[in-house]
Chain A
Amino acid sequence: MSNVPADLKYTTSHEWVRVEADGTLTIGVTDHAQEALGDVVFLELPEAGRQVAAKEACAVIESVKAASDIYAPVAGEVIASNQDAADAPESVNADAYSAWLFKLKPANVADVDALLDAAGYTAETAQ
């Protein structure tokens, strides 16, 4: 069984979202996603300042097998991307929840409430 931390929010497209104390969001891909992708070898991350719409493809994760889009969970502005993860893509396989990919300042922080919680995501991936 893959790991689904209780304190995070999730999307049906397998991103995890952490709401930070300052209201910004930290985003990565779930353990379930990294397991399905296999060995991750390349990350293309969005640049700070980019405005993204909810569900907009804004990053790419490439495993040995295939390329997959990563989607913005909610609308907002990209404020940072994780260069350490881009330099060591295998860190996503090692721990998908510490290898965050980018940070977002949400247009409306209440949008996060509509995302899945851990139980909802677990049910989603069990299908």
Chain B
Amino acid sequence: MNAPVRQTPLHATHVAAGARMVDFAGWDMPVNYGSQIEEHHAVRRDAGMFDVSHMLSLDLDGADATPYLRGLLANDVAKLKEPGKALYSCMLNENGGVIDDLIVYHLSDTRYRIVVNAGTADKDVAWMRKRIASTGANVSLNARRDLAMIAIQGPNAREKTWQALPALRAASEPLKPFSGAAIGEIFVGRTGYTGEDGFEVALPADQAAAAWAALTAAGVAPCGLGARDTLRLEAGMNLYGQDMDDDVSPLNAGLSWTIDFKDESRNFVGKSALVANPAKRRVLGLILEDKGVLRAHMKVVTAAGEGETTSGSFSPTLEKSIAFARLPLAVEAGDTVEVEIRGKLLKARAVRLPFARNGKAVA
């Protein structure tokens, strides 16, 4: 467990900016540069950016790329018709547990770009290679540790990205949400993990510091992993390792919408386990009505039985504490439940996710 802590190509930039650095999935990453709440608001109201170079881009090429991914992933890449269109999917093990959640961009029927989580990257690549060997698929998988990645997010994120990096404008301006385009060595996706508009830009590591400086000069606020967590929580987006993992079925983690059973002839890893084990839990948001802060792994008491929070924090947009909770199926949005905090039962309201999108509270 004592592997040396890794650094992204922007590490020196963060340290010079006075960021508070923490170990995240084996990487020394900025958690905040000052006030985490101010960074959060910058993304909801204007534009902020995150160093997400610890995440891994993978290029999958070959004649069998599409059938390989249709067998590997629980969502169906066959629904990606236009070049550049992206899909969010879980990659499951044979028991139906989640190995990782990822984004796959369809560049052509024989070429895909995949972006996976930092903490799971080695496990993912090993699993994917094993699956290539066992299926004999004619594909090659190339891990792109030569790339850095910057996520620019917020209502003004696209405009400020074009100001800072004008060469990206022509190819990225026509991009619809949840699609991406290659511009030479750079790949721009109109995607993110905040519930706001914006881009995720993968670029050669040696260009990262200059891009970050240009974005800073254009008024994009550097933001740390702290704000990234409260933004994704408000946006109702799961965090791997916290809201689901190898031992949790996506059906019990609020991810049923990402499992595509439509093509009955399609067999994907974990499918039979999912069919044999229907959902036992549903995921709803909780808004704490009493004072306090919800955190992961708190007991939730409902009229239909007990549940548990999987993620929780203070929501800067709602100015209340919020959480995701795995609850009995009979609990409905609008129900009042109780959460045990330090031995006391406090009132919370169950709501549909997300809590916030595009700058506004919606829950």
A binding-site residues for B, Cβ under 8 Å: 38-39, 41-42, 44, 60, 62, 64-67, 93
Contacts and interface: CB of A to CB of B under 8 A. Distances in A.
Q: Which of A41, A64, A65, A66 has the most CB of B within 10 A?
A: A64
Nearest to B227: A64
B37 A64 contact: yes
15 contacts: A39-B35, A39-B37, A41-B314, A41-B321, A42-B291, A42-B292, A42-B314, A44-B292, A62-B292, A62-B293, A64-B230, A65-B31, A65-B313, A67-B293, A67-B295
A65 B32 CA distance: 11
Interface string B209-249: 00000000000000000100010000000000000000000
B342 A60 contact: yes
B95 interface: no
A64 B36 contact: yes
Contacts of B32: 38
Contacts of B293: 41-42, 62, 67
Nearest to B316: A64
Interface of B: 20, 31-32, 35-37, 226, 230, 291-293, 295, 313-314, 316, 321, 342
B226 A65 contact: yes
Contacts of B313: 64-65
Contacts of B37: 39, 64
B194 to A, nearest CB: 15
A64 B314 contact: yes
Nearest to B38: A39
Nearest to B320: A41
Nearest to A38: B36
Given A42-B292, A42-B314, A62-B293, 7 more contacts: A41-B321, A44-B292, A60-B342, A62-B314, A65-B31, A65-B36, A65-B226
Contacts of B31: 38, 65
Nearest to A35: B20
A41 B291 CA distance: 10
A41 B295 CA distance: 13
Contacts of A60: 342
Nearest to A69: B342
Contacts of A38: 20, 31-32, 35-36, 226
A125 B142 CA distance: 45
Contacts of A39: 35-37, 314
A38 to B, nearest CB: 5
A42 B315 CA distance: 12
A67 B230 CA distance: 15
A80 B342 CA distance: 22
Contacts of A62: 292-293, 314
A33 to B, nearest CB: 13
Contacts of B291: 42
Contacts of B342: 44, 60
Contacts of A66: 295
Contacts of B226: 38, 64-65
Nearest to B230: A64
A42 B312 CA distance: 14
Contacts of A67: 293, 295
Contacts of A65: 31, 36, 226, 313
A103 B37 CA distance: 29
B28 to A, nearest CB: 17
A63 B151 CA distance: 25
A44 to B, nearest CB: 7
Contacts of A93: 35
Nearest 4 A/B pairs, CB to CB: A41-B314, A62-B293, A39-B37, A42-B293
A41 B292 CA distance: 9
A64 B316 CA distance: 9
Q: Which of B291, B314, B316, B321 has the most CB of A within 10 A?
A: B314
A62 B293 CA distance: 7
A60 B293 CA distance: 11
B20 to A, nearest CB: 8
A39 B314 CA distance: 10
A125 to B, nearest CB: 15
A34 B37 CA distance: 14
A65 B313 CA distance: 7
